[in-house]
Chain A
């Protein structure tokens, strides 16, 4: 099957720091892939390049066979890739349901032909189907009880859920979650992932998620890609990657200096 996302030879430098040395990744449709790596390893840079926030210095990215390398984030969203953010990006002064309504409104506008997209509908009562649709989204993400709370006062876990809900509202074919459970208490992590994955997987959406919690990674991903210093350290089944000794050394176990005796005594 043709890959849904194909990145070839991505390079990105920030001054003296190289965040990506020729990263090449192919993602199959309808799969769940976990991206792991220490801070600064290049995971978020990769995500930012795919979603159009950063332009790679070299290399190409294609989505469903179409070159998306230099596209602006909003075009990439329109093509079918949505993302959530490490720090949830919400409309803090608007209520939860209003946040979703905005997302749905944009999709609705973008989906009509260009004439209709540009003329505001004057008739009162238009867009009445948006609010029930927003309620449905809230239901799937178990956010219904918060519908009238301003997004700015929500607890972190709920903010994360809302962030993912907004990304999904666009019904993307590929969803990228950037640290969906960071900053959230351990009990909530699984609840959040269950909710998000439950809402997503029934639609056959391809999911990429960046995570630091290895339990989450092993539980939810079908494939794991480990980053280290701008390169891919390992790529494969979760059990294999998480068990890989380099991955253990550089990613899972952290980048502590290793004493010579330990080095020689590797299993």
Chain B
């Protein structure tokens, strides 16, 4: 029983992390029909920016508790700078091209960003552990967990709900739903689709960056940390359905729990299990568990 609770706890923590990472990816796909291979690099950017900002903050002897705010600030900064730069500077010229071409464009972007990160921050590892340890830890099912993990869960719930609320209840959100459904008609109806794309991509970037920023205190921030993340995010998004928000949540939950089970019972299949789930969903329900906005052509 205790074993099971531990498994569930680990699974939920991992799922929250996966959800935050996958949310931005599925949002961008849903609206812009772009599967962004550079998503992991944006995540890494967020981690590095957080490391720098918190490092600077703490280095000047400021209040440690505010370092959480710094994490969020770093993510927002990355979103606001990198998002528009990429969307306006590159993607804008590629709309209307085949989805595979766009995939390759984002792949090129991934290659570029990986080196940009190295050029800015060098190749040594960064550590920013203060926020992680600050809140202490708590006991659950006989094991000790850092309270930080609760922050992760909280952020994922907040981010998901906020996005869902915006889509459902605000005027802008409804327009966005229209754009998701059909770009051409939206343009014909006078919706400024171009602006929506910019905003969506910026928010998607911010979400990726938040994922990275929140992860930074728990790992050593090194070049290449985004590479693994991309495929995980893909797996989650594919399972839940490309472009579906509730799908991302469900996908994150499933992948997170499967991986947790693997880690607890059969560690050899940890990595493999995630991709098996992804492959299984692609085979049996290619549209994902929640039919997303994408229609696959046979």
A–B in direct contact per CB < 8 Å = no
Residues of A that sit less than 8 Å from B by CB: none
Residues of B that sit less than 8 Å from A by CB: none
